[in-house]
Amino acid sequence: LEEIAPRPVQDTGNILKQGYLEKRSREHSFFGSEWQKRWCVLNRKTFYYYANEKSKWQPKGTFSIENYSARLAPHLRKDSRKKCCFELICPGKRTYEFTAPSPAEAEDWVDQIQFLLKDLNSLTIPFDEEDEEELYNDVDSSDSVNTTSHNTTLNQDEPNAEMEEDDIYEVLPGKEPEPV
C-alpha cells in the first residue's frame, strides 16, 4: 500500500519503463561521483529522472525523447559495467548518458525508447496524413457521386428542365445589349 499511494493515478498507465539507472552528471566533480544513481521513468514522450523512487513529485530533470535516438554505449565506461551503458543523443541538444544495472536492462531501455520513437514518428509523419487524405477522398467521391446522380435524375425527370436551362442562357445574352 505504501508504494502505490504516492503514485499519481493518471501517470501509471503511461509509464512504459522505470527503474534505477546511474546517470552521468554534466559537471564532472572531483569530490562527487560522475555517475549518480537516479530513479528514471519513461512515459510515451518524456524521460524523467528523480533523486530516488520516493521523490516522484520533484524530478531532478525531464526531457522530451522526441528527435532523440537511443543506443548502447560501451565506450562510456572502462570498468566491468561498460556493457550496461547507453546514451540518448539528439543533434544540437544535450546527450544523456546512463548505466543500467545489467546489460539486459540497458538493452531493454534502448529497445523501449526506440519503440516509442518509431511510434512517435509514425504518428506524426506518414499515417495521419494518409488517413486524412483517405477521409477527404471519401468525401470527394461521395460528393461527386451525389452531383452526378443529381444531374442524371434531373435529366431523367424532364428533358424540358434541360431546355429551360438553355433558355435562361439564351435570354441572358439577349438582355445584356438592351441597356447599352
- pLDDT tens for 74-120 read 999 999 999 999 999 999 999 999 999 999 999 999 999 999 998 88
- At 122, the pLDDT band (50, 70, 90 cuts) reads confident
Q: Residue 88: how many CB atoms within 10 A of its CB?
A: 22
Read off φ and ψ for residue 152, nearest 5 degrees: -65, -35
Residue 43 neighbours by CB under 8 Å, 6+ apart: 11, 14, 15, 16
Question: Is residue 117 within 8 Å of 69, Cβ to Cβ?
Answer: yes
Q: Which domains does the chain have, with CATH numbers?
A: 15-25+33-122 (2.30.29.30)
pLDDT tens-digit map of 34-77? 899 999 999 989 999 999 999 878 999 999 999 999 999 999 99
